[in-house]
């Protein structure tokens, strides 16, 4: 029999697409699965009532387990709850609005079945959806230990929904750090790559829905979590040398500047761009990206523009 795969679906204030996500998991060609839905909504909220109603539809499905938190604890805690209840040899953490394409788990599981002990997970290509439109596709042919590239934001998984991990690997690194309400995946991956490497399938096997990311652009939270993240791993960053450390700081200043543009905080954007420029002047390519983002930040119809011109910005990036 094929190894059991655990699918953890944390859900919080985003029940509208939850059924679509669960059904995409149940439609996998890989049949030996268990699905653990972790409800992180507070018990007294309308979101909890709606989620309970949705989950009653799966009462007779033995593959689906429903766990409720006694209060809102955050996404990292919800993923850890799923991890502590997982029975599968492999595990994936799927956001409650993403769509797994039918062969995702089959193709990822076979890689892990035939991997050596050094490999702790396998990722794949993914695409973004906005209003049902495929607006961005990401491939990364890099595999191995990607820790050095994570700090420079030159490699990433796109979403916690994308990788399939060996459960023993996630348990060994103690899952997610519940102090992080942002950058949870980056933080977890730094620890993951201290012990393991990652395989890669160069094929799009999942759609990440970007329509309703209600916490995505809380700018102050991004700034605070970014500072905590770099401080926590200062020793690891220093391991790669002073020149690398400067490049990491510069890269993260530019990241915050872009996030500030997206919420029209141009003064903050210019401040962090200036900080980055002190380390090294912006390249023509970087200047072009910021010009596009600043134009975007002052124009109306942002959702329309993001959908239509998103690919243009990504190409320039």
Q: Over the stretch 107-136, which tens digit does the pLDDT of each residue have?
A: 999 999 999 999 999 999 999 887 777 776
| pLDDT of 317 above 50 | no
Q: What is the pLDDT of residue 213?
A: 53
> pLDDT tens digits for 236-275?
999 999 999 999 999 999 999 988 988 888 899 889 999 9
The stretch 144-157 carries a mean pLDDT of 91
| pLDDT of 230 above 50 | yes
* Sole residue written with tokens 């700018």: 219
Cα 244 from Cα 247, distance rounded (Å):
5
Q: How many helices (H) and strands (E) does the chain have?
A: 13, 9
* Sole residue written with tokens 């200036």: 274
> pLDDT tens digits for 278-303?
999 888 888 888 788 777 666 654 54
Q: What is the pLDDT of residue 68?
A: 98
Cα 85 from Cα 246, distance rounded (Å):
41
Local confidence band at 217 (pLDDT 50, 70, 90 cut-offs): low
Q: What is the pLDDT of residue 181?
A: 87
Q: How far is CA 39 from CA 48, 132, 196, in A?
A: 7, 25, 30
* Total residue length of the chain: 317
Q: In order of start, what are the domains of the chain with their CATH numbers? A: 5-209 (3.90.550.10), 219-316 (no CATH)
pTM, two decimals, is 0.88
Burial class (CB in 10 A: 0-12, 13-18, 19+), 202: exposed
| pLDDT of 10 above 90 | yes
Q: What is the pLDDT of residue 304?
A: 47
Q: What is the pLDDT of residue 316?
A: 44
Q: Residue 12: what are its φ and ψ, rounded to 5°? A: -155, 115
């Amino acid at each position: 029999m094929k190894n059991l795969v655990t699918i953890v679906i944390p859900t919080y204030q985003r029940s509208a697409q939850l059924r679509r996500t669960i059904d995409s998991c149940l439609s996998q060609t890989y049949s030996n699965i268990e699905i653990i839905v972790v409800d992180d909504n507070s018990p007294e909220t309308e979101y909890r009532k709606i989620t309970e109603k949705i989950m009653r539809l799966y009462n007779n499905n033995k593959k689906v387990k429903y766990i409720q938190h006694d209060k809102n604890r955050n996404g990292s805690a919800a993923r850890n709850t799923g991890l502590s209840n997982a029975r599968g040899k492999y595990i994936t953490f799927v956001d409650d609005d993403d769509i797994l394409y039918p062969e995702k788990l089959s193709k990822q599981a076979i890689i892990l079945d035939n991997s050596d002990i050094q490999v702790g997970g396998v990722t794949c290509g993914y695409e973004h959806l906005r209003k049902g439109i495929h607006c961005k596709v990401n491939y990364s042919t890099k595999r191995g230990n990607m820790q050095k590239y994570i700090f420079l934001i030159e490699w990433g998984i796109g979403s916690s929904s994308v990788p399939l991990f060996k459960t023993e690997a996630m348990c060994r690194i103690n899952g997610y750090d519940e102090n992080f309400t942002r950058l949870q995946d980056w933080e977890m991956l730094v620890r993951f790559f201290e012990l393991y490497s990652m395989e890669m399938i160069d094929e799009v096997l999942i759609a990440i829905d970007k329509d309703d990311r209600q916490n995505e652009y809380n700018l102050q939270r991004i700034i605070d979590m970014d500072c905590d993240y770099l401080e926590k791993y200062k020793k690891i960053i220093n391991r790669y040398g002073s020149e690398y450390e400067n490049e990491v700081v510069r890269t993260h200043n530019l990241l915050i500047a872009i996030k500030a543009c997206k919420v029209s905080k141009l003064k903050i954007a210019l401040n962090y761009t200036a900080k980055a420029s002190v380390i090294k002047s912006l390249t023509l390519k970087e200047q072009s990206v910021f010009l596009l983002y600043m134009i975007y930040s002052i124009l109306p119809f942002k959702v329309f523009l993001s959908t239509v011109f998103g690919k243009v910005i990504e190409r320039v990036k």
